[in-house]
């Protein structure tokens, strides 16, 4: 039993931008998160995880892309809301770094898509744990433009690629976040004989 591993996994928390101080996270930590993401399990070594890191002024580019996607979609649907538009534009500035995480589909489709999505989510968990180990706040958002039909083109991705979310990173104001899980026993069946 490795108490350190158990503690890291159990105490990892999602920390949201409202709980970031506004300080910039050291790029060396971001690089370590990406390096560890790159060691996720991968069937047939397709290594499908891809990242676009937005930091500094780059966060404004992300804001502009997502606000424009929102404007186009909501105006077509007649649901445009100026507050939401401004939120899309400015929200990225609340985080130190925002990492767009996407799955790059294997050209030969040598494994089912679900496996490549799974691998990419495992890469995200490695990022979560690395952030936590370095006392950095982070969380995965699948909100905003994650599932917008036009998002792939706007971010320069291929048609078969899948955005899985935006990983927000920032220095946490506090480290006493709590979470909960129902007992694992209710989710497990053992077959012993």
Ligand X SMILES: Cc1cc2nc3c(=O)[nH]c(=O)nc-3n(C[C@H](O)[C@H](O)[C@H](O)COP(=O)(O)O)c2cc1C
Interacting residues toward ligand X by CB under 6 A: 13-14, 139-143, 165, 179
Closer Cβ to ligand X, 108 or 149, answer by number: 149
Minimum distance, C-beta of residue 107 to ligand X, in the bound complex (Å)? 26
Minimum distance, C-beta of residue 182 to ligand X, in the bound complex (Å)? 12
Closest CA to 18 of 137, 182, 155: 137
Closer Cβ to ligand X, 39 or 147, answer by number: 147
| Rounded distance between C-alpha atoms, residue 17 and residue 137, angstroms | 8
Closer Cβ to ligand X, 79 or 142, answer by number: 142
Closer Cβ to ligand X, 179 or 182, answer by number: 179
Strand partners, 42: none
Minimum distance, C-beta of residue 190 to ligand X, in the bound complex (Å)? 25
Helix (H) or strand (E) segment spanning residue 100? strand 97-103
Helix (H) or strand (E) segment spanning residue 55? strand 49-55
Minimum distance, C-beta of residue 69 to ligand X, in the bound complex (Å)? 16
Count the neighbouring beta carbons within 10 Å of the beta carbon of residue 143.
10
| Rounded distance between C-alpha atoms, residue 141 and residue 143, angstroms | 5
Closer Cβ to ligand X, 41 or 56, answer by number: 41
For 2, which DSSP code? -
Minimum distance, C-beta of residue 120 to ligand X, in the bound complex (Å)? 11
Show the tokens assigned to 70. 């929102």
Strand bridging mode 49-55 / 137-141: unpaired
């Amino acid at each position: 039993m490795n108490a350190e591993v158990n503690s890291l996994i159990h105490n990892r928390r999602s920390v949201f931008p409202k709980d970031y101080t506004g300080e910039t996270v050291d790029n060396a930590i971001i690089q370590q998160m990406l390096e560890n993401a790159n060691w996720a399990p991968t069937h047939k070594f397709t290594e499908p995880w891809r990242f676009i890191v937005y930091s500094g002024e780059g966060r404004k580019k992300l804001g502009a892309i997502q606000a424009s996607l929102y404007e186009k979609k909501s105006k077509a649907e007649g649901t445009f809301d100026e507050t939401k538009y401004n939120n899309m534009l400015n929200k990225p500035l609340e985080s130190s770094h925002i990492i767009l995480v996407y799955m790059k589909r294997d050209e030969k489709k040598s494994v089912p898509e679900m496996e490549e999505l799974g691998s990419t989510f495992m890469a995200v968990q490695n990022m979560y744990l690395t952030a936590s180990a370095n006392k950095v706040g982070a969380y995965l958002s699948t909100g905003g433009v994650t599932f917008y039909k036009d998002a792939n083109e706007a971010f320069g991705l291929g048609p078969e690629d899948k955005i899985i979310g935006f990983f927000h990173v920032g220095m946490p104001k506090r480290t006493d976040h709590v979470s909960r899980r129902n007992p694992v026993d209710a989710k497990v069946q053992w077959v012993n004989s």
